[in-house]
A = this chain, B = another copy of it.
Amino acid sequence: MAGNTFGKLFRVTTAGVSHGPGYLCIIDGCPAGLPLSVEDLLPDIRRRKPGQSKLTTQRKEDDLPEIWSGVFEGKTDGTPIGLVFRNGDQRSGDYGDIKDKYRPGHADYTFDAKYGFRDYRGGGRSSARETVCRVAAGAVAKKLLAREGIRVLGYVKQVGSVVADIPDPTAVTLEQVESNDVRCPEPDAAAKMIALIDEARMDRDSIGGVSELVAVGVPPGLGEPVFDKLKADLGKALLSLPAVLAFEYGNGFRCAEMRGSENNDVFVPTSGEGDSSPTIRTETNRHGGMLGGISSGEPIVCRVAIKPTSSIPRSQRTVTREGEATEILVKGRHDPCLLPRFVPMGEAMVALVLIDHLMRAKCGRLSG
């Protein structure tokens, strides 16, 4: 019950389905005094938007958010921010077949099993369209983080067998990420990924991949042991996104094959240019910026795996609601690869976790 709120101090609550009037998003706990307008939300919303390129679904969504409350005279006023997204382009005829048959890889069956019935139109509540709320809330979080010198950036690291070589994740720029349709900052890999996605699309199939997410400027001390560790909350946030099957940070799964002497990062003094720089760092960042579940001051680096789109334009075996064997051909317009549009979603969830933990950490020490 009641799983539609995220965060403890910076709280996001959403409602809405893809084929109803629209989505509601309430951000509760945003500090007062932040300049905010619809324009602040649009860049990331556009990066998430369907129909950006041939790599993404050709479905069109208007996605223009409206700020109904929480902003007064151009600044947040400390009261809950109410966002409204009206649904636009709904081809109501597209979902006839999914009413009675379960799409493989989708939540149709599990929603029915959970609630007894479901809004089958466009996936109802399980539609990834709800992530537009997360991306908007994440844009607010990013703006708050920027004031503290924290920047969150994601990109596509892998599509199918193509893995981009990105030796320094912290050197990647937004411009590099946005320079191509697949959002991979390494141009050669990007070209190969695009070809691979196109190939999958031509084969009436889809393909998976990996996104890497980086946060720089995160001060040491974020994360609340023993259960609300920063790594745990980042994992939860990213795994709550549709199609994410895996999460790792730092060395991640590779640590299984390593020895302690290879995996440990040794501490080193910093040259100490300027007063504000931290005086202690690690020589390497195999720990992905978190030790004991608390940020170390090193960049946070994590990765998630996104499965190939479950909706593929070919006939698949399945069963009806009554349990009889049948076939289904999922209609509609779907992304052949979810990765390009995932990037702003992933960034949003990282930003929501960081702002929440930043606010929590401020309570950790006595003032004065």
Contacts and interface: CB of A to CB of B under 8 A. Distances in A.
Interface residues on A, range: 35 or more
B245 A72 contact: no
A122 interface: no
Contacts of A287: 105
Given A2-B9, A33-B116, A312-B260, A267 B104 contact: yes
B240 A291 contact: no
Interface stretch (A47-55, A89-97, A175-183, A225-233): A225-233
Contacts of A292: 106-107, 110-111, 126, 242
**For the complex, would chain A's binding face be called helix, strand, loop or mixed by DSSP majority?**
mixed
B294 A110 contact: yes
A225 B129 CA distance: 13
A217 to B, nearest CB: 15
Interface in A292-328: 292-297, 305-312, 314, 316-319, 323-325
A77 interface: yes
A236 B233 CA distance: 6
A117 B251 contact: no
Contact of A79 (B125, B147, B206): B125
A200 interface: yes
A259 B336 CA distance: 9
A106 B267 CA distance: 11
A303 to B, nearest CB: 8
A170 interface: no
B110 A364 contact: no
A289 to B, nearest CB: 10
12 contacts: A13-B80, A32-B365, A77-B117, A78-B115, A79-B124, A104-B282, A107-B293, A114-B294, A226-B240, A246-B246, A252-B305, A260-B311
Given A4-B79, A32-B116, A267-B318, 12 more contacts: A26-B26, A31-B364, A32-B117, A78-B114, A110-B220, A160-B259, A208-B258, A234-B239, A245-B255, A255-B305, A259-B308, A260-B307
